[in-house]
A and B are shown apart, each in its own frame.
Chain A
Amino acid sequence: MSDRTLLKLALRNATRRPMRTALTAGMVVAGTALLVICLSWLQGMFGPMLRDATNAAGHVAVRQQAYVEREQLMPLYENLPETAPLVQIIRQQPGVVDVQPRIATGGTLTIGEEIGEVFGLVDGASKAYFTERQNLDADLVAGGRWFEDDAEEMVLGAKVAEEAGAKVGDEAVLLGATQDGSLSPIKGRVVGIVSAGSGAIDRSIYIPLARARWMTDIPDGAIELLVYGADYEDATALAATLSAVPALSELAVQAWSTRPPWSQMGPMVDGIWAFLVFVTIFLAALGIWNTMMMSVLERTDEIGVLRAMGLRRRGAVGLFVVEALVIGVVGSLVGVAVGAVPAWYLATHGIELSEQVTANMGGQFPIRTTIKAALDGGIFASAFACGLLMALIGSLLPAIRAALISPVTAMRSGR
């Protein structure tokens, strides 16, 4: 039988019992719609979080091995003493877009005379790191600006500013420590306040790299070099490239995905995705299996006659697989459309989280107060593909059963 006749027959068969076909397609619709909603939600939740986190922590970070081992304590003495030559070398590597030296430590802020007790995470790096990499100037409260690299200026997170009672224009004293542990104050004028609704950002104090070097007594170095490629998804490859550079061989070169919390979160999130997709495909495939099996049993005589007329086994399989695919295509298309509606609503409206929750989340989880779903072609495409997969898997066993029908038995069973 020619492929065209086969296709025509499969199409006719699919419309033979319209109600049954519609119900079966309905299961694919429900499955695909669920996938669209869930995938766009997961992407919306973790996408921005990952982007924010990798923008802040670098796609790849280069640090002392000893620093990595005690990362939680932020030991200033495990620093990179000379960063300029390293930056030069890293910039020449393929795939590197930007390198930013950074000093992260802790400090207490004082406005006016009294010794303050307002603690903040001190983030010392270039203006470009904050404005171009993290786009933090977008979160500046009205009336402020970002600091200039060579000035005695600082920008405060909103929580720090609120607790210290600081406003733009105030003179502040930041009390930190040098790398050997002695107390070390620096002065600076508050030129801006950032409010992002995220605990990590709003509890930080942003100062120029030069001031941070002075405060920590690391005159030419930094704690870490944050390396950026074109896309954070490619960080693993970038880390591999950098690891091969001789000048960096003594240092720890880590892609974001291999550092906590993502080294633990990543598998967990992947697990949720995989589980959802698997269960949905499995259930819809069961439904299709059920219907197709019915069709095969019902048409045993017919297949027998076709086989007697010379239809090959492969043709019998094809007949049912094509019928299932027709159901799958229609069901997935409708399902994508149906799922797009709530997903679109979540993408435009989002869900509000309270500040108490986001502000208390750890620094490695920069959650914003509004979580929105993310909708893109990739999600539609993967949901559609999963819909087809449901149909294919579901039709496989019945199709094989159809192929096993021998012409003789089929003819004999006819009344």
Chain B
Amino acid sequence: MTLGRLALRNMLRSKRRTLLSTAAIVVGVMYLILGQAFVGGIEEGIVQAAEDGMTGHITVRVDDYPTTGLSHPVDDLLTLTPAAKALLDDDARVAAWVERTVFVATLSTGDDSLRIRAIGAGARDAEVFQRTTWTVEGRVPETAEQGALLGAGIGRMLGIGVGDRVILRTRTHAGAINALDVAVAGLVQTGNMALDGTTAWLPDALARDLVRAERPTHVGVRLKRRGQAPAFAEALRAAVGDGADVITVQEETAELLRMQQIRRNALNILVGVLLAMSALAIANTILMAAHERVREVGTLRAMGMTRRRIVALFVTEGAIMGGLAGLVGLGVGGLGAWYFSENPIDLGALMQGVDYGNIQFSAYLYTAFDPGAMVLPFVIAASTAVLASIYPALLASRLEIADAVRAE
């Protein structure tokens, strides 16, 4: 006859009450798991958007490059030192690297015009900036004659379709104005909200013809793993010398991720209060149980059960309650986290027409499903319940046995 069995039976005695007092734990654990999964998913979305969009794992660009707004000057071009080139070609960590010419252009249909970001991309661009989330209508241009690939948002705003012609006007490297009549080879839905409405991809030759530049403005690097970026960036920094900056995807997203920390803190406060509420509810329930079972406790004591075992009996009851509620919360939260990791919420459709500025962010809000992250919420829930039941358990253990056995 174990203590645990007796505690379990006691807990099941008043099912409604147990259910009510554990509701807060269920909700708290659920929030914690689902919230953490969403925050984690947003974080991953931010990093992924930077990695597949403008930064790659590592970007090399000229010194003092502007980081805010739609601003891509071509006054200074990038010169890769032979040492840097050798490192990029030979280091085993590098999966691929590509030169890019990035500039701002005015795209005009004759009636309307729009300032856009144009990316002149080399042949290996798709290996560095992965296109797994891309949906292309038409095709990705390979030669200057085929023209440009436009973000789908641009096409929508200006009413442009595949095969139409547009005028791209820009300022050249030397400071003159240049314009070209360009075909629209395709429209792309990238899965990155900030790119879809602002960016066009051109074959490298077309881009350099427009800005009259011999050299690129950026070099994008993809490594075997994202985690290698800080170490490889160190090596690359030494090789590129002065005049060029080496930025890792981690550095690029650090500020945005800091905002996520605020979200995490808010979630923690919310869950903290919910857990406090559940602690009160459980303390209350165990207290009621102690009041109700005065005679039983007296009898157990008369039969020779020590005070400590009485405390253990009630605390075990609380622990089982917290544990089961934690499990339910874990189940519901985990299921939600799993579901949304498989079926992301399409923010792109939700936020259409909103000027979300230049924050690089995935259009799909999904969760980071990580079973390991679910252990802690469960432990917290169970310990909350244990702590909450200590006081009522102590009360129960201090009854006068002689009175208690005769209590009604």
In the complex, A touching B, CB below 8 Å? yes
Q: Are B408 and A415 neighbours in the complex by a CB distance under 8 Å?
A: yes
Q: Which of B64-72, B138-146, B322-330 contacts A (4 or more CB under 8 A)?
A: B64-72
Q: Which of B91-99, B255-263, B333-341 contacts A (4 or more CB under 8 A)?
A: B255-263
Cβ–Cβ < 8 Å partners of B118 in chain A:
none
Flag A34-47 by CB within 8 Å of B: 1 or 0 each.
10011001000000
Q: Are B287 and A290 neighbours in the complex by a CB distance under 8 Å?
A: no
Flag A1-37 by CB within 8 Å of B: 1 or 0 each.
0000000000000000101100110110011011001
Flag B229-261 by CB within 8 Å of A: 1 or 0 each.
000000000000000000000000001101100
Q: Are A119 and B68 neighbours in the complex by a CB distance under 8 Å?
A: no
> Nearest CB to that of A261 among chain B residues?
B354
- Bound: A23/B67 CA distance, A: 53
Q: Are A199 and B255 neighbours in the complex by a CB distance under 8 Å?
A: no
Given A34-B270, A365-B357, check contact A283 B287 (CB 8 Å): no
Flag A106-145 by CB within 8 Å of B: 1 or 0 each.
1000000011011100000000000000000000000000
Interface size grouping (class) on chain B: 35 or more
B397 to chain A, nearest CB (A): 15
Cβ–Cβ < 8 Å partners of B158 in chain A:
73
Q: Which of A94-102, A219-227, A355-363 contacts B (4 or more CB under 8 A)?
A: A355-363
Which A residues between 369 and 390 are near B, CB-CB below 8 angstroms?
A: none
Cβ–Cβ < 8 Å partners of B273 in chain A:
30-31, 33-34
Flag B267-294 by CB within 8 Å of A: 1 or 0 each.
0011001101100110111011001000
> Nearest CB to that of A284 among chain B residues?
B277
Which B residues between 13 and 29 are near A, CB-CB below 8 angstroms?
A: 16-17, 20-21, 23-24, 27
Q: Does A404 contact B (CB under 8 A)?
A: no
Q: Are B357 and A23 neighbours in the complex by a CB distance under 8 Å?
A: no
Q: Are A260 and B258 neighbours in the complex by a CB distance under 8 Å?
A: no
- Bound: A88/B266 CA distance, A: 49
Cβ–Cβ < 8 Å partners of A415 in chain B:
408
- Bound: A260/B21 CA distance, A: 43
Q: Does B61 contact A (CB under 8 A)?
A: no
Q: Does A291 contact B (CB under 8 A)?
A: yes
Given A20-B284, A294-B288, A356-B255, check contact A361 B277 (CB 8 Å): no
* Contact of A354 (CB < 8 Å), options: B21, B113, B258, B266: B258
Given A30-B276, A37-B269, A199-B357, check contact A290 B69 (CB 8 Å): no
Cβ–Cβ < 8 Å partners of B23 in chain A:
283, 286
Q: Does A368 contact B (CB under 8 A)?
A: no
> Nearest CB to that of A287 among chain B residues?
B281
Q: Does B157 contact A (CB under 8 A)?
A: yes
* Contact of A353 (CB < 8 Å), options: B17, B70, B259, B291: B259
Q: Does A243 contact B (CB under 8 A)?
A: no
B317 to chain A, nearest CB (A): 16
Chain A interface, number of residues (Cβ within 8 angstroms) = 58
A413 to chain B, nearest CB (A): 12
Q: Does B73 contact A (CB under 8 A)?
A: yes
Q: Are A20 and B269 neighbours in the complex by a CB distance under 8 Å?
A: no
Q: Are B288 and A181 neighbours in the complex by a CB distance under 8 Å?
A: no
Which B residues between 157 and 178 are near A, CB-CB below 8 angstroms?
A: 157-158, 171, 175, 177
Cβ–Cβ < 8 Å partners of B285 in chain A:
290
Cβ–Cβ < 8 Å partners of B171 in chain A:
115, 117
- Bound: A72/B71 CA distance, A: 18
- Bound: A396/B20 CA distance, A: 15
Cβ–Cβ < 8 Å partners of B90 in chain A:
none
Q: Are B68 and A159 neighbours in the complex by a CB distance under 8 Å?
A: yes
Given A159-B68, A264-B350, A361-B359, check contact A283 B255 (CB 8 Å): no
Given A115-B171, A291-B284, check contact A27 B354 (CB 8 Å): no
Cβ–Cβ < 8 Å partners of A365 in chain B:
355-357
Q: Does A146 contact B (CB under 8 A)?
A: no
Cβ–Cβ < 8 Å partners of A119 in chain B:
69-71, 104, 115
- Bound: A34/B276 CA distance, A: 11
Cβ–Cβ < 8 Å partners of B16 in chain A:
293
Given A117-B171, A119-B71, A283-B23, check contact A363 B277 (CB 8 Å): no
- Bound: A291/B270 CA distance, A: 24
- Bound: A20/B282 CA distance, A: 11
Q: Are A159 and B69 neighbours in the complex by a CB distance under 8 Å?
A: yes
Q: Are A290 and B21 neighbours in the complex by a CB distance under 8 Å?
A: yes
- Bound: A70/B353 CA distance, A: 10
Q: Are B277 and A30 neighbours in the complex by a CB distance under 8 Å?
A: yes
- Bound: A401/B320 CA distance, A: 29
Cβ–Cβ < 8 Å partners of B302 in chain A:
none
Q: Does A289 contact B (CB under 8 A)?
A: yes
- Bound: A342/B68 CA distance, A: 33
Q: Are A283 and B351 neighbours in the complex by a CB distance under 8 Å?
A: no
- Bound: A106/B114 CA distance, A: 10
Q: Are A287 and B21 neighbours in the complex by a CB distance under 8 Å?
A: yes
Q: Are B284 and A364 neighbours in the complex by a CB distance under 8 Å?
A: no
Provide a sorted-by-A list of 15 A–B residue pairs whose CB atoms are within 8 angstroms: A37-B269, A73-B114, A199-B357, A260-B353, A261-B354, A261-B355, A284-B277, A287-B24, A287-B284, A353-B259, A354-B255, A359-B68, A359-B69, A360-B358, A363-B355
Closest 7 CB pairs of A and B: A362-B357, A362-B355, A261-B354, A359-B68, A290-B20, A23-B284, A34-B273
